[in-house]
Amino acid sequence: MIKIIAGGKKNAGWAGEAISEYEKRLRKPYEVQWQFVEEEKLARWLADWPFNASQYVICCDERGENISSREYSERLEKAFLGSREVVILIGGAYGFSDLVRERADFVWSFSKLVFPHALARVIVAEQTYRAQEIARGGKYHHE
């Protein structure tokens, strides 16, 4: 199970439709569970959040490392093999504090471009499906 904590409201509209399309295809351990925290409260909430060793925390932030889809798949597989819960953090308009980025296991940048958080959610959903397909040798990903 992958837990995605996102700033803002529940996935809706075009982004919700796209995310639902990818979620339908996900299988254990790649299925996702969303948790939404009001954007104004997210920074305070994460400052008190108990990052712990049983979790592999990925923080989506443009100041992170840019990796390939295969590398993302390998990181998820390693976390699953280590029996760690994967937690992905998607921030709001102002990203994350230095403290949150430091406490995360990995800070992931999709690109040098900055994306709205609705699009970042779609990217996470699609890349998680792609990671699943890479791990199982499916035909979705081509290299």
Radius of gyration of the chain from its Cα atoms, rounded to whole angstroms: 14
Neighbours of 24 (CB within 10 A): 8
How many Å separate Cα 10 from the centre of its chain? 15
pTM: 0.94
Q: Which residues pair with 109 in a beta bridge?
A: 66
pLDDT greater than 80 at residue 72: yes
pLDDT digits 0-9 by tens, 97-129 = 999 999 999 999 999 998 888 999 999 999 999
Residue range 49-76: average pLDDT? 94
pLDDT digits 0-9 by tens, 3-60 = 999 998 888 899 999 999 999 999 999 999 999 999 889 988 998 888 888 999 999 9
| Exposure of 37 in the CB half-sphere (CA atoms within 13 A) | 16
User: Got the DSSP string for 16-46?
Assistant: HHHHHHHHTT--TTS-EEEEEE-HHHHHHHH
130 and 69 Cβ atoms separated by less than 8 Å: yes
Span 2-136: which CATH code? 3.40.1280.10
Model pLDDT, residue 54: 93
